[in-house]
Amino acid sequence: MKFSTPATTNPIDQLKIVGKPVDRIDGPMKTTGTALYAHEQHAAAPNAAVGYVVAAAISKGRIGSIDLAEARRAPGVLTIVTADSAGKLGKGDFNTARLLAGPEVDHYHQAVALVVAETFEQARAAASLVRVKYIKASGAYDLAKAKDTAKKPKKDQPDSKFGNFAGAFAAAPVKLDATYTTPDQSHAMMEPHASIAAWEGDKLTVWTSNQMINWTRGDLAKTLGVPKENVRLISPFIGGGFGGKLFLRAEAVLAALGARAVKRPVKVALPRPMMINNTTHRPATIQRIRIGASRDGKITSIGHESWSGDLPGGNLEVAVLQTRLLYAGPNRMTSMRLAVLDLPEGNAMRAPGEAPGMMALEIAMDEMAEKLKIDPVTFRILNDTKVDPEKPDRRFSQRRLIDCMRSGAERFGWNKRDPVPGTVREGQWLIGMGVASALRNNLVMKSAARIRLDANGLVTVETDMTDIGTGSYTIIAQTAAEMMGVPLNMVAVKLGDSDFPVSAGSGGQWGANSSTAGVYAACVKMRTAVAEKLGLPAADVEFADGMVKSGGRSLPLRQAAASGPLVAEDFMEYGDLDKKFQQSTFGAHFVEVAVDAFTGETRVRRMLAVCAAGRILNPKSARSQVIGAMTMGVGAALMEELYVDKRQDFGFFVNHDLASYEVPVHSDIPHQEVIFLDETDPMSSPMKAKGVGELGICGVGAAIANAIYNATGVRVREYPITLDKLLPKLPAII
């Protein structure tokens, strides 16, 4: 099925099950421990040996030699895999660095070898006996020092220009020119990168924790040099990914190599230090923002430049994307530059682009509002736009930023905010409020599903879509139940298997809308098949309460499968509506903080997110996504930072565990409120939905920074906003 014209009325609009706050159907399995994750597939892959990764102890250079003799003699050791024994390995399309080093070492903790033994303890002990001699090379690890060597990317993400930015900025009566920095950050998901691999002849099955089954299946086949059809990936449950499990990682490749060598299943899980240094992270940014405005508060010029770093051949952190769309202004400029750094690979993490970009832009907007002596909410509303500012002939499919701002301001009590910084106190605490806009673009991807109807009336959905804790099982079940007119308990959902039709996968805020649209397409085909089987006209048939009705006739749905199951498979692909209309999601974040006047300790006291993101398929799971994203925003604003050892011969993330890489805990998070505006977007998909999960983090960091400024009068432009950055400038204690 192709979606090329705006959606009209369809069965989803009944909203009997879709749009309801349904409990997660996988919840009982997760709370009873019967939801099996990748590392727990003992029945599917019995008698699995255990692999332990030997990781590079240098950041750049070569392996001079590896002595495996002592490790091979250790108790329980079955084999040791190195680049020499693995044979020729390719590199996946989505990998920047090779996943097994040798002889070159590209980054710290790049895998050097895999020790396979009968038990985890034996494999770990033997791994410590592998003797590697390295030949070090000097590397670059400091973005600030490498900034001047950064280059314009050769491929996508070109600079953007509209009007005459330089001239308009120079002539603006009120202007801001400020630089902001965001640090390297880790996904810090709960479940580690983990896989179990098993070969049956030349066929490979890998149970893995991965967000994008089809991408990873292709890259694993390419890396191993085997046909894609010989590789099967299974990932039914994922304990958090946040972009860190979008792509093939070392543990899956090494498990496959180990299993091939010992001719039995092998399981590999990365310990936390290797999750942080061996896999991907959010790269640091340096961002310069210039805004010029007339004295009445209208933006006349806006420029946003960003610098980030990655390994050779790596990718940008696309931190300027929201600035191209969020506010009006006739003269505009954005640019991004990429420096070569020899740190572990930088890649997608928690709303890549907009999350770090808005941490800068939305502070700059508050700084301009202060210069203009205009309320920050009013200033944002004043510079709203209904069209893409760089393509004025393209309007937004839906844009309710003003509604988000106004309803949020009213609910949060914004009118009680004192605009003079540092004036509101409660004992030793300085109190402040902050606001920021939220934007995340709506992405749609081709997605397929298969529907089965059996003689009992059970509808089974099969798709390789994954559930990373966001509720995919439930919204897919809701979609099928709505379309086929059955209760939720008559739908079974099977996910995360490459034997199933290829879906959009989970990531980038595209998963829910795209995957349910694929289920919608398959259900449309199934409805036609059922009508034909029952001898009913497909054009006006109604599916409700387990019955199929048309022209005064009413027949049980199950009757269509009385002589055997019915199967229908289809996909949803998209035309050019996204080119004709800019499709984005919008929101507003409001935060109240208290800052200790003596110590600089910051406590977030209240949080509110107002979201306009199309039809909300399940308000309960959507709220869960948003409050989780808001929590991540607190971490990004106040504590999350990977500390880089920048010495020339080192270059790695020092705080590579959850004791020293700080993330928010329960006591850090106050009451969180989420409001979803009633909205449908017929330009997006037949579901009229859009993504919402990543919208919840976009802008949160800046809202906290703005609240801290309102509380203390201290403007911090370098994240995270730790107390050492506040203490020297806090107002005097009276």
Catalytic residues: 694
Question: What is the residue whose two structure tokens read 């930072």?
Answer: 641
Residues 696/625, Cβ–Cβ less than 8 Å: yes
Beta strand pairing status for 391-395 and 231-234? unpaired
Q: How far apart are CA 182 and CA 300, in angstroms?
A: 27
CB-based burial, 16-25: b 16+ in 10 Å, e otherwise? ebbbeebebb
Q: Which residue has the tokens 């290797």?
A: 274
DSSP code of residue 501: P
Cβ atoms 590, 412 nearer than 8 A: yes
Token code pair at residue 526: 């199934």
Strands (E), 250-407: 266-269, 285-293, 299-310, 331-340, 387-388, 391-395
List 295's β-bridge partners, or say none.
none
Concatenate the DSSP letters of all residues of 265-300 into one string. Answer: -EEEE--HHHHHHHS-BBPPEEEEEEEEE-TTS-EE
Concatenated DSSP letters for 665-726?
A: -GGG--EEEEEE-----TTT-TT-B---TGGGTTTHHHHHHHHHHHHHS----BSS--HHHH
Cβ(460)–Cβ(452) below 8 Å: yes
Q: Which residue has the tokens 């020729």?
A: 88
Q: Which residue carries 């958090």 as its tokens?
A: 240
Q: Print the SS3 string covering 665-676.
A: CHHHCCEEEEEE
Cβ neighbors of 604 (< 8 A, separation 6 or more) are 591, 592, 593, 634, 638, 668, 669, 670, 704
Q: Are 17 and 478 in contact (CB under 8 A)?
A: yes
Nearest to 232 by CA among 38, 36, 497, 493: 497
The sign of the CA dihedral 33, 35, 39, 41 is: positive
- Give dist(CA 385, CA 394) in Å, integer: 11
Q: State the pairing for strand pair 602-612/671-676.
A: parallel
Q: How many other C-beta atoms can be found within 10 angstroms of the C-beta atom of residue 312? A: 10
